[in-house]
Structure formats: C-alpha cells, structure tokens
Amino acid sequence: MNCSVYSSVIQGGSFTGGYFGNSQQLSIKYSKITESVIRGSYSAGLVGFAFANVIQIANCTVQNVTIGTNNFCGGLIGQLQAGSIMMFSNNVVTMSRVSCVSHAGGFIGFADESSNIVISEGILTSNNITASNANAGGFIGTFSTVYSGCTLKIVTSRISSVRVFSPNSAGIAVGYRYPAFTVSTSILRGENYVNNIKIANCANYATTC
C-alpha cells in the first residue's frame, strides 16, 4: 500500500481512520496523511481499530492532523487488539493533535490483549497528546494485556517538543499499563517538555519506572 490522504475531514461514530476504520491482518507501508481532521471513538491517523495476529506499519507519516473525540485515539492506531507480533518501523507523527477522553497515544491509543510490540526508528515531534480523563502516552496511551511475559520494545526512537497531558496517568512512552510487563528501551531520546518520563504508574503519577 502506497498512497496519500490530504486535506480531508473524516468523521464517524466509532472506528474512524485515515485509511481504515476497522481492519484485520494489517500491513501498511509508505503512506501519508496530512492536514486532515479525524473524529470519533476508536479514531486514528491510519486505522481506527486493528484486530490481527500480525500487524506491520512501516515508513508512514501523519502530519498536521487533528484526531479524536471520545475514547481510544492514536496517531497511527486507535485500538490494537489480540496481536502476537506488532512491528512499527520508521514511522513519523508530527505537528498533530491527538485528544480524547481516555486512552490517547502518539502511535497507539489502547493496546489490548497484545503480547509483543516493537517500535523501531519511531519519531514524535511537535505534537499535543491529551486525555481529559485518563491515560495519555507519547507512544501508547494504555497497554493492557492478559498474557504473561509481554514486551514492549522501543528501539532508536525520538520524542521532541511533545506535550503529553492527562490528570490521571501521563507518560512519555506509555501512559498506563496493566498488569506489569517488560519494557525495553534502546536509545529513547526525549527533548523539550518531556521531563524524562518513561512510563506513568497505576497510582496516577507520571513517574519513571
């Protein structure tokens, strides 16, 4: 898939995405959405709701896009569910606003029943990520899983001039996670307004874990 969306308004009740509202077995590469507005629950720059065992998003850009209304909003995916292998490589979210009631993330709003997520060469620059009620994260708003031994790997990624806000659980990598899982960061660099926060705890404080 190699396509672009420019200067568009996409609005729906649920499952609203710049490319797909609801998708399974997903692979998106070399795609771009710019100067657009995407509104609804489960809303995102690329896919509102993704359900699959294997998901790959690579070399995609979300630029100057306003995303979100209610719950589950993300720069790339609103909600990601039941995936065993999820690869995000060389993606950029820039000059965008991701804002909803709960579960707002620069890449993924809510990752549920997922076992392994790898974010490689990810870039977040000049974004505002807000959850007015709870759980806002630079990369992932909420990571919730029933599996043991789950991992989130962030490799050679950068966050610059990004504001992440929520009154309950805000973190520069992940806003809220339940239960505990393994986080591995290799060169996660934060600049301007990020306060060196990696993960917010369940106790409603933005703290480094």
Residue with tokens 């790339």: 76
Asked whether 157 and 188 are in contact (CB, 8 A), the reply is: yes
Report the candidate in 73, 51, 44, 55 with the shortest Cα–Cα distance to residue 137. Answer: 73
Rounded-to-integer distance, Cα 139 and Cα 119, Å: 9
Which pLDDT belongs to residue 145? 67
State the alpha helices, DSSP H only, in the chain.
none
Predicted confidence at residue 197, as pLDDT, reads: 42
- The per-residue pLDDT string of the chain (209 residues; one tens digit each, 9 = 90 and over) reads 678 999 899 998 899 999 999 988 788 999 999 999 999 999 999 999 998 777 899 999 999 999 998 999 999 999 988 766 788 999 999 999 999 999 999 999 998 866 678 899 999 999 999 999 999 999 999 988 666 666 788 888 888 888 999 988 888 888 888 755 555 544 455 444 444 444 433 333 333 33
How far is residue 102's CA from residue 118's CA, in Å, rounded to a whole number?
Answer: 23
